[in-house]
Amino acid sequence: MQKNIKRFKGLTIGLEEIASDDFNRANDSAGIGANWLELRSTINHTITSNTAGISATGFARTRWAGAGNWSPNQYSKLIVGSNGSNVSYGVGVRCTGGVNALNTYDFVVGFGSWNIYRTVAEANTTLASSPATLSYNLLVGDVFELQIIGSLLTAFINRVKVAQVVDTVLTTGVPMFENYNPLSGEQIGTNSWAGGNILLS
């Protein structure tokens, strides 16, 4: 169990890691393991070169399905393992639902920008977006993180806060991550992922 201490509006918060995956295992075209639930019927994450990625065109969305006692106050983060043309990476919190029935808050970075979404039954509502003047280029090794405390969502890129927004619709769930690849045959992959609870005192 890993804990990091921060401050939040006068409160001490601890980041308690509940689950993680470095994807360092044999290539597997069937999925990324029993601790994960794939949320798309058309495309799944696969293990390739010690990353969780996709090589087909489209979205792959996967939520944690292993052990863990999840608080509504939680975080999800990933490290970019590879890049391509116009790809995107996302992390989500309070994810529920099954295949093609996703509910989550997610922070998606790609196509030169970032967005925070609320997704209910696969329908996205944009809650926050990067400035129109921003042009952000994905790099291998980038760290993307989304936290939620109560109704406050906070997004980070490389541990720097880039956005906060309040939303009250989704109240429970578990962390997730996702990838989008517009080009068939171009492999992109997540190097590692971690999720956990945020403890307030």
The average confidence (pLDDT) of the chain is: 89
Query: Residue 196 pLDDT more than 90?
Result: yes
Domains and CATH numbers, the chain: 3-200 (2.60.120.560)
Give residue 104's pLDDT.
97
Amino acid (one-letter) located at 34: A
Confidence of residue 190 (pLDDT cuts 50, 70, 90): very high
Give residue 170's pLDDT.
98
Give residue 1's pLDDT.
46
Nearest to 153 by CA among 116, 186, 123: 116
Query: Residue 163 pLDDT more than 90?
Result: yes
Mean pLDDT of the 166-180 span: 96
- The per-residue pLDDT for range 90-124, each reduced to its tens digit, is 999 999 998 889 999 999 998 888 999 999 998 99
Whether the Cβ atoms of residue 197 and residue 4 lie closer than 8 Å to each other: no
Confidence of residue 133 (pLDDT cuts 50, 70, 90): confident
Give residue 152's pLDDT.
97
Other C-beta atoms within 10 Å of 109: how many? Answer: 23
Query: Residue 161 pLDDT more than 80?
Result: yes
What pTM value is reported for the model?
0.91
Q: Which two tokens stand for residue 60?
A: 């792959």
Task: Give Cβ neighbours of residue 179 (< 8 Å, ≥ 6 apart).
Answer: 45, 53, 54, 59, 60, 87, 88, 89, 90, 188, 189, 190
Other C-beta atoms within 10 Å of 180: how many? Answer: 20
Give residue 5's pLDDT.
46
For the chain, how long is the longest CA-to-CA vector? 49
Residues 118, 121: Cα–Cα separation, whole Å:
10
Whether the Cβ atoms of residue 62 and residue 54 lie closer than 8 Å to each other: no
- Residue 18 phi, psi (nearest 5): -105, -35
- The per-residue pLDDT for range 3-54, each reduced to its tens digit, is 454 555 555 578 999 999 999 999 998 899 999 999 987 788 999 899 998 8
Enumerate the H helices of 19-103 as residue ranges: none
Give residue 187's pLDDT.
74
Query: Residue 142 pLDDT more than 50?
Result: yes
